[in-house]
Chains A and B, each alone.
Chain A
């Protein structure tokens, strides 16, 4: 199943991902992305990829495992 990966070194806490897919992403008190789920069923893939692409610093990726 595809999985979503986050680059915590790149994350700047813009929260575009939270707006795009709040069931997958949250932001913690330090402004870093928190992955609420890692596995991405095919039905969600397009939506989660869109949320990942909305990241201003490209800190998120959906990849096939």
Chain B
């Protein structure tokens, strides 16, 4: 039979199925997915275009039933996995059915951390298409939205909601938005952008209380003394890995499934993990890493597929972080590892086109934040992959900035 079973029709799961066929896997490929949806869908648009009133799930399909049939991949929706027995090579589903496998790919991802203020009307998180549809119904002009957490999800929803005419207050205890990847002075540039666009961004403070108001909405108090009434609350305070179903299976769980450099689960045979749920040992950096990035999942998929098809010629995964975000008229791209002390701004935020280059070791470019500057993105992504020295990257970006400034002046 030789069945590859993939748990999760996330981007990591779907891309692994496609890559397995491309790598020459001739056996069965079966995907089981907990969500009862019509087809696999892509998550990045959920906090952006999918919040538009007329957006349809088909527009954010990762693939179609026809494409899956063409590569002979079966998908079962509404089928959550509840247990794994790696000795008998069986996965148990919610309805009690057991599915055998020869190779297993764990792609169960992560879920939104729950709101500390309970659930119900007006209280939102954002992770699934259903979450986005519930939030979308409340993004009406003249409504008031509180966003708790100024990470990527919060910042993107702030931009989308503001554009839709919603009055947005965003609060985060940290001193800058998106502070997981941006140091404070760079984060400030993005904080200023949100303020300029009309968001009331309150940093360095948190929520002290949220109470339901009579007749709908919430009374909110912040630790800086601010009191406000809002119609809805969006809680964007991070994600929790979906590994509960693996407890007791013998897999090593450490905020993710602990994996080898080749993305195989440590201590068991024929099991791999891909995407948000995978914590792998990076051979080059000598540490374990887990990333909640779209590109991480899609880059891991061909490695997992190759290693399943070629068990005696395993490849190691080497990550170069890459995330993007659309906020207002800014296309933000973050590549490599950012946040190091040694960083330099090239270009001008007030022109809406700039880059910040980072070096962690003082010699090579190790990361960059780029806004609305495609050539700089290509330069930095190549330079990080090639290990180019920081001085020459900064020189070429400065030249690039001067050239495009000239071109704009002539135009």
**Which one of B15, B18, B377, B382 lies within 8 Å of A22 (CB-CB)?**
B382
The answer to whether A53 and B18 touch across the interface, beta carbons within 8 angstroms, is yes
Quick one: which of A8-64 are within 8 Å of B by CB? 12-16, 18-19, 22, 26-32, 46, 49-50, 53-54, 56
> A29 CA to B322 CA in the complex, in Å?
20
> Does B180 have its Cβ within 8 Å of any Cβ on chain A?
no
Does chain A have a CB within 8 A of B378? yes
A26 touching B19, Cβ below 8 Å:
no
Select from chain A the residue with minimum beta-carbon distance to B375: A29
The answer for the CA separation of A13 and B374 in the assembled complex, in Å, is: 7
Cβ-defined contact, B377 with A53, below 8 A: no
- Known A-B contacts A13-B331, A50-B302, A53-B298; the reply to A18 vs B19 at CB < 8 A is no
Looking at A14, A26, A27, which has the most chain B CB atoms within 10 Å of its CB? A14
What's the minimum C-beta distance from B54 to chain A, rounded to whole angstroms? 18
Q: With a CB–CB cut-off of 8 A, which chain A residues contact B404?
A: 29
Looking at the assembled complex, report how far the CB atom of A34 sits from the nearest CB atom of chain B, in whole angstroms.
10
Number of B residues with CB within 8 Å of any CB on chain A: 24
Decide if B77 is an interface residue (CB 8 Å cutoff): no
Judge whether B44 and A56 touch: CB under 8 Å: yes
Contacts of A15 in B (CB 8 A): 333, 374, 377-378, 381
B44, B295, B299, B374: the one contacting A29 at CB < 8 Å is B374
Q: Cβ of A27 and Cβ of B374 under 8 Å apart?
A: yes
Contact at A18–B378, with CB atoms within 8 Å? yes
Q: Is B405's beta carbon under 8 Å from chain A? A: no
Scoring A15, A29, A53 by chain B CB atoms within 10 A of each residue's CB, the highest score goes to A15
Partner of B22, one of A12, A28, A50: A50
Q: Can you name the residue of chain A whose Cβ is closest to the Cβ of B322?
A: A16
Chain B contacts of A50 at CB under 8 A?
19, 22, 302
Interface size of A in residues (CB-CB distance below 8 Å): 21
Neighbouring A residues of B331 by C-beta, 8 Å? 12-13, 31
Chain B residue nearest in CB terms to A19: B381
Complexed CA–CA distance, A62 and B335 (Å): 26
Assess whether B41 is interfacial by the CB under 8 Å rule. no
Rounded to whole angstroms, the CA-CA distance of A13 and B381 in the bound complex is 12
Q: Which residues of B contact A30 (CB under 8 A)?
A: 374
Residues of A within 8 A of B333 (CB): 14-15
User: Are the CB atoms of A19 and B385 closer together than 8 Å?
Assistant: yes
What CA separation (Å) do A28 and B373 show in the bound complex?
Answer: 10
Residues from chain A with Cβ under 8 Å of B377 in the complex: 13, 15, 27
* Contact present for A26 and B22 (CB under 8 Å): no
Known: A46-B22, A50-B19, A50-B22. Is A27-B378 also a contact (CB below 8 A)? Answer: yes
Q: Is B294 an interface residue (CB 8 A)?
A: yes
Considering the chains assembled together, what is the distance between the CA atoms of A13 and B320 in angstroms?
17
Q: Which residues of A contact B15 (CB under 8 A)?
A: 53
Inter-chain contacts of A53 with B (CB < 8 A):
15, 18-19, 22, 298, 302
**A46 → chain B closest CB, angstroms:** 6
Interface centre among B42, B294, B378, B404 (most CB of A within 10 A): B378
Residues of B within 8 A of A46 (CB): 22
- Nearest 9 pairs of A and B residues by beta carbon: A31-B374, A13-B374, A27-B374, A27-B378, A19-B381, A15-B377, A15-B378, A54-B298, A50-B302
Task: Give the A-binding residues of B (Cβ under 8 A).
Answer: 15, 18-19, 22, 42, 44, 294-295, 298-299, 302, 320, 322, 324, 331, 333, 374-375, 377-378, 381-382, 385, 404
A-B contacts, 28 listed (Cβ < 8 Å): A13-B374, A14-B324, A14-B333, A15-B333, A15-B378, A15-B381, A16-B322, A18-B382, A19-B320, A19-B382, A26-B378, A28-B374, A29-B375, A29-B404, A32-B374, A50-B19, A50-B22, A53-B15, A53-B18, A53-B19, A53-B22, A53-B298, A54-B295, A54-B298, A54-B299, A56-B294, A56-B298, A56-B324
Given contacts A15-B378, A18-B382, A27-B375, 7 further A-B contacts (CB under 8 A): A16-B298, A19-B381, A31-B331, A32-B374, A50-B19, A53-B18, A54-B298
